[in-house]
Structure 1
Amino acid sequence: MSTGKAKNITIKNDKGRLSQAEIDRMVNEAEKYADEDEKQRQRITSRNALESYVFNVKQAVDQAPAGKLDEADKNSVLDKCNDTIRWLDSNTTAEKEEFDHKLEELTRHCSPIMTKMHQQGAGAGAGAGGPGANCGQQAGGFGGYSGPTVEEVD
């Protein structure tokens, strides 16, 4: 019982779509600024590497156990790190090469002191009861809690 009438409906949703000219313009702009974007990415990566190194060195020196590092070396490293942080704060638009130079400069200053600190730590561990003498000690503020007790069950 069909009536034999047919109707075709076409729905087009062009609202909010970009024209081919707009797409071409955007692609050209992306290509045009690709080198600039890459330089910016490298600059930010270098800045982040410098900041990360500064804070890692500061943390290592601040948390070094007594006797691992003498006060003069500790103050020297902390002063250099604080100088670098101040430089970072006042030179937010520095170029990649400047960040790399600062990182190299800081590394040259801190590496010998950090190496000495780690060597003293290795020597102190061996002299205080041989290998594994500090195995039961906790590094954090856990108040002597060494974790759960594990019992072997047959």
Structure 2
Amino acid sequence: MDKCDEIIKWFDANNLAEKEEFEHKQKELEGVCDSIITKLYQAADAAPGGGMPNFGGAGGVPEGAPGAGGTGGSGGPTIEAVD
């Protein structure tokens, strides 16, 4: 949060900065965010049960759930192609 506040203050104070300067600040902030996300994933992998949930269905939807597109459905209606 401190880095975000720092970058926002810089943006506010440097409205007339060159494009390259803005891009540099963006990359600086992305570097901080990337390291935080990496640490979150590492902590999740080390946690009991290991890792982030993997629902196995289409687009992160559990198989058999509406919209999963898998074969574990409830026997409900299906969509067929019409020529």
TM-score calculated relative to the size of structure 2: 0.50
Checking the alignment, whether the CA contact within 8 Å between 1:125 and 1:131 is kept in structure 2 is: no
Q: How does 1:1-154 map to 2 (within 5 A)?
A: 78-124=1-47, 126-127=49-50, 132=55, 151-153=74-76
Indicate the structure (1 or 2) with the bigger Cα radius of gyration: 1
The alignment yields a C-alpha RMSD, in angstroms, of: 3.5
User: CA–CA distance in 2 between the matches of 1:110 and 1:123?
Assistant: 20
Checking the alignment, whether the CA contact within 8 Å between 1:81 and 1:106 is kept in structure 2 is: yes
Identify the structure with the greater helix proportion: 1
Letter aligned with residue 75 of structure 2: E
Letter aligned with residue 27 of structure 2: E
Equivalent residue pairs, number: 63
User: CA–CA distance in 2 between the matches of 1:93 and 1:83?
Assistant: 17
Identity %: 38
Which runs of 5 or more structure 2 residues have no equivalent in the other structure?
56-60, 67-72, 78-83
Which runs of 5 or more structure 1 residues have no equivalent in the other structure?
1-77, 137-145
TM-score calculated relative to the size of structure 1: 0.31
User: CA–CA distance in 2 between the matches of 1:121 and 1:79?
Assistant: 24
